């Protein structure tokens, strides 16, 4: 059991007026081990209980069941807990070793389905670092939720519909060639699109042509549909190569186009509830009571919009999955869009609108500048991953030139470094991307955590990979305490990451555990023959299990050697 929970459970009966969650939140780490392993401060209770804090501390100590602890003592205004370290270590090691990668599994999800709208790049454009964030955050949330018995559904809501396809078809018909698209679909399609935007400044008639093509597409015209399908499948092929490198798959690729025939229902519903108003020829839903701009549902030419498709998608997902939560991992810049989406659904009378959560995230900049497709400042993900793998290769070559499977390890380390870096930052924080730092083996990086795991595995190999009893592994050495405590915190960490929708909670935890373990390993001889040898190996094994599982939740591999 979590060492903080153990103390909270001991305190709760002595403090009946306090919510256990408040007790837990108040617990402090004493400055030195002479003051125990965990302390509960009583100052804030003095007012309510009309007693001096010292008195409260003394009273609480008298009321506490101390059997789980070596001792519990009042020290001034604090109640200080000293753990029976050998008992605690045997308990936590038994849990980790016997549950192995199921350690930390939870039941709170009760099999509830959770669609996660993630990645969702736009057809005929490259996947950018921004889409990477959505992809890896969404994937990590899916892993975390699934560990807690939710049923995540990873949905790639492809940007495969909209007026830009009219422009793309127009541009292709003017300058495109089949061979060029086949040879390098994303780059050439992007080139046509960019050129369209350069030339339509001087030739505004191109916009009329483009609008016509999109109309044709919406009406199922054969030529338009064929071209669109071809662009889509070529783009998707390229996207899937990147997903394969990240080892991420999707349960659904139903993009915006899928909702083309489902929007009339939305419009009809809005109409029947008298929510549609005309504004300059367009149809809008007034959202002033939410302090939001009106939601534009239909343009004056009858074309539907991004939000119309999202309304249809939200309703479709509720019907299909009967979700308990519906997540959208989409950049911070679309916050308004998702507020509008929720508000319109609320206006339509769907009480499940409050199960919809936009999970926003900050921008990635490169050398302080924003990355965008229009300005050409795109960092292509494929290239970033290639460079990261090269850097990982260099470091492996320097550190461990005889390693077998060097290529596979460099791949796991390079790709893992990029993913981990993205996830260790709280998602709302913007961050600057510097590849050299990301792939370093020291510091708070993915390779650092992977290396701690590989080191644990190498100790076990050196010890002859013994079968270790799960039970009775007692460690009295105080140097192991930090690592043991952290192991016990893993289950609560996973839960917190799920309620905050914040994979960085798991990433930061992994860094802490790797650091604590490295410190322990640096100060303690593990492979000496004495009474606690097996217990120390059990601790090493437990660290390896939990680091690997934490990395797995983040979508990062943990090679056994590196
Ligand atoms: N395709 C959009 C973009 O790249 C993201 C779509 C997000 N998902 C959604 N349901 N709106 O900006």
- 328 Cβ inside 6 Å of ligand 1: yes
Distance (Å, rounded) from C-alpha 474 to C-alpha 525? Answer: 16
Ligand 1: which atom is nearest the Cα of residue 159?
Answer: 1
Q: Residue 346 C-alpha to ligand 1 middle, in angstroms?
A: 21
pLDDT tens by residue, 196-219: 999 999 999 999 999 999 999 988
To test ligand 1's pocket by mutation, which of 116, 138, 159, 308 has the most ligand atoms within 8 angstroms of CB?
159
122 in helix, strand or coil?
strand
- 450 Cβ inside 6 Å of ligand 1: no
CATH of domain 383-554: 1.10.730.10
pLDDT at 377: 47
Q: Residue 204 C-alpha to ligand 1 middle, in angstroms?
A: 28
To test ligand 1's pocket by mutation, which of 157, 263, 332 has the most ligand atoms within 8 angstroms of CB?
157
Q: Residue 232 C-alpha to ligand 1 middle, in angstroms?
A: 16
- 160 Cβ inside 6 Å of ligand 1: no
Name the residue at shortest CA distance from atom 4 of ligand 1: 121
pLDDT at 375: 45
Distance (Å, rounded) from C-alpha 56 to C-alpha 46? Answer: 8
Ligand 1: which atom is nearest the Cα of residue 313?
Answer: 10
Name the residue at shortest CA distance from atom 1 of ligand 1: 159
525 is written with which tokens? 């001889």
Report the alpha-carbon angle 51-52-54, nearest 5: 125
Q: Residue 359 C-alpha to ligand 1 middle, in angstroms?
A: 12
Name the residue at shortest CA distance from atom 6 of ligand 1: 120
- 122 Cβ inside 6 Å of ligand 1: yes
Query: Which one-letter DSSP state was computed for residue 186?
Result: H
- 135 Cβ inside 6 Å of ligand 1: no
- 310 Cβ inside 6 Å of ligand 1: yes
Is 507:533 a contact under the CB 8 Å cutoff?
A: no
- 159 Cβ inside 6 Å of ligand 1: yes
Q: Residue 157 C-alpha to ligand 1 middle, in angstroms?
A: 7
Q: Residue 337 C-alpha to ligand 1 middle, in angstroms?
A: 10
pLDDT at 376: 47
Distance (Å, rounded) from C-alpha 231 to C-alpha 186? Answer: 9
Q: Residue 205 C-alpha to ligand 1 middle, in angstroms?
A: 29
Name the residue at shortest CA distance from atom 3 of ligand 1: 121
pLDDT tens by residue, 61-80: 999 999 989 999 999 999 99
Beta strand segments in 231-342, E? 276-279, 282-285, 295-298, 326-329
Predicted TM-score of the model (pTM): 0.94
Q: Residue 117 C-alpha to ligand 1 middle, in angstroms?
A: 8
- 161 Cβ inside 6 Å of ligand 1: no
Name the residue at shortest CA distance from atom 5 of ligand 1: 120
pLDDT tens by residue, 470-501: 999 999 898 999 999 999 999 999 999 999 99
pLDDT at 390: 96
Report the alpha-carbon angle 140-142-143, nearest 5: 65
To the nearest whole percent, how much of the chain has pLDDT over 70? 97
The CATH number of 3-83, from 3.20.20.210, 3.30.1360.70, 3.10.20.340, 3.30.70.1140, is 3.30.1360.70
Q: Name the pairing type of β-strands 78-83 and 69-75.
A: antiparallel
pLDDT in tens, the chain (562 residues): 789 999 999 999 999 989 999 999 999 999 988 899 999 999 989 888 889 999 999 999 999 999 989 999 999 999 999 999 999 999 999 999 999 999 999 999 999 999 999 999 999 888 877 788 999 999 999 999 999 999 999 999 999 998 889 999 999 999 999 999 988 888 899 999 999 999 999 999 999 999 999 999 988 999 999 999 999 999 999 899 999 999 999 999 999 999 999 999 999 999 999 999 999 999 999 999 999 999 999 988 877 789 999 999 999 999 999 999 999 999 999 999 999 999 999 999 999 999 999 999 998 776 666 655 444 445 567 888 999 999 999 999 999 999 999 999 999 999 999 999 999 999 998 878 788 888 999 999 999 999 999 999 999 999 999 999 999 999 989 899 999 999 999 999 999 999 999 999 999 999 999 999 999 999 999 999 999 999 999 999 999 999 999 999 999 999 999 9
- 360 Cβ inside 6 Å of ligand 1: no
pLDDT tens by residue, 104-144: 999 999 999 999 999 999 998 888 777 889 999 999 999 99
Distance (Å, rounded) from C-alpha 419 to C-alpha 562? Answer: 18
Ligand 1: which atom is nearest the Cα of residue 330?
Answer: 7
Is 537:474 a contact under the CB 8 Å cutoff?
A: no
Distance (Å, rounded) from C-alpha 409 to C-alpha 414? Answer: 8
Question: By CB neighbour count within 10 A (0-12 exposed, 13-18 middle, 19+ buried), where does 391 fall?
Answer: buried
Beta strand segments in 371-480, E? 431-432
Distance (Å, rounded) from C-alpha 137 to C-alpha 388? Answer: 19
pLDDT at 370: 63
Report the alpha-carbon angle 91-510-355, nearest 5: 95
According to CATH, where is 1.10.730.10 located in the chain? 383-554
Q: Which residues, at least 6 apart from 273, have a Cβ–Cβ distance to it below 8 Å? A: 347, 348, 349
Q: Residue 159 C-alpha to ligand 1 middle, in angstroms?
A: 6
According to CATH, where is 3.30.1360.70 located in the chain? 3-83
């Amino acid at each position: 059991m979590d060492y903080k929970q153990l103390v909270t459970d001991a305190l709760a009966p002595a403090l009946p007026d306090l919510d256990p969650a408040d007790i837990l939140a108040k617990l402090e780490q004493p400055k030195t081990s002479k003051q125990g392993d965990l302390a509960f401060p009583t100052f804030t209770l003095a007012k309510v209980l009309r007693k001096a804090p010292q008195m409260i501390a003394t009273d609480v100590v008298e009321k506490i069941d101390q059997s789980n602890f070596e001792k519990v003592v009042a020290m001034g205004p604090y109640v200080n807990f000293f753990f029976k370290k050998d008992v605690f270590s045997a308990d936590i090691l038994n849990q980790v070793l016997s549950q192995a990668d199921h350690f930390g599994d939870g039941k709170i999800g009760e099999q509830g389905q959770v669609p996660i709208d993630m990645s969702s790049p736009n057809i005929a454009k490259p996947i950018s670092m921004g889409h990477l964030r959505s992809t890896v955050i969404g994937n990590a949330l899916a892993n975390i939720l699934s560990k807690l018995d939710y049923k995540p559904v990873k949905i790639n809501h492809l940007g495969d519909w909209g007026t830009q396809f009219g422009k793309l078809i127009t541009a292709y018909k003017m300058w495109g060639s089949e061979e060029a698209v086949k040879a390098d679909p994303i780059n050439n399609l992007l080139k046509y699109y960019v050129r369209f935007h350069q030339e339509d400044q001087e030739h505004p008639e191109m916009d009329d042509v483009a609008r016509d093509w999109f109309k044709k597409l919406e009406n199922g015209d054969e030529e338009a549909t064929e071209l669109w399908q071809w662009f889509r499948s070529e783009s998707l092929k390229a996207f899937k190569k990147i997903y394969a490198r990240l080892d991420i798959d999707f349960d659904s690729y139903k993009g915006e186009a899928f909702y083309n025939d489902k929007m009339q229902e939305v419009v009809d519903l809005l109409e029947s509830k008298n929510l549609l108003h005309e504004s300059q020829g367009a149809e809008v839903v007034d959202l002033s009571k939410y302090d939001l701009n009106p939601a534009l549902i239909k343009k004056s030419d009858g074309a539907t919009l991004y939000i119309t498709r999202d309304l249809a998608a939200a309703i479709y997902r509720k019907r299909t999955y009967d979700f308990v939560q519906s997540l959208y991992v989409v950049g911070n810049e679309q916050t308004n869009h998702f507020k509008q989406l929720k508000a319109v659904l609320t206006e339509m009378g769907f009480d499940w609108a409050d199960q919809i959560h936009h999970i926003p995230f900050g921008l990635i900049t490169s050398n302080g500048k924003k990355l965008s497709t229009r300005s050409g400042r795109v960092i292509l993900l494929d290239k970033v991953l290639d460079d990261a793998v090269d850097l990982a290769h260099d470091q492996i070559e320097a550190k461990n030139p005889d390693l077998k499977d060097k290529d596979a390890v460099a791949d796991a380390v390079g790709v893992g470094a990029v993913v981990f870096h993205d996830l260790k930052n709280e998602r709302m924080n913007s961050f600057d991307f510097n590849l050299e730092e990301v792939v370093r083996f020291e510091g708070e990086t993915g390779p650092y955590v992977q290396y701690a795991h590989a080191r644990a595995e190498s100790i076990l190999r050196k010890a002859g990979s013994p079968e270790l009893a799960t039970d009775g592994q007692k460690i009295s050495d105080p140097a192991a305490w930090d690592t043991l405590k952290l192991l016990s915190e893993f289950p609560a960490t996973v839960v917190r990451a799920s309620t905050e929708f914040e994979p960085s909670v798991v990433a930061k935890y992994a860094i802490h555990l790797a650091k604590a373990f490295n410190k322990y390993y640096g100060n303690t001889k593990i492979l000496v023959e004495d009474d606690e040898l097996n217990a120390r190996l059990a601790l090493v094994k437990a660290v390896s299990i939990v680091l690997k599982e934490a990395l797995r939740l983040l979508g990062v591999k943990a090679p056994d050697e590196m």
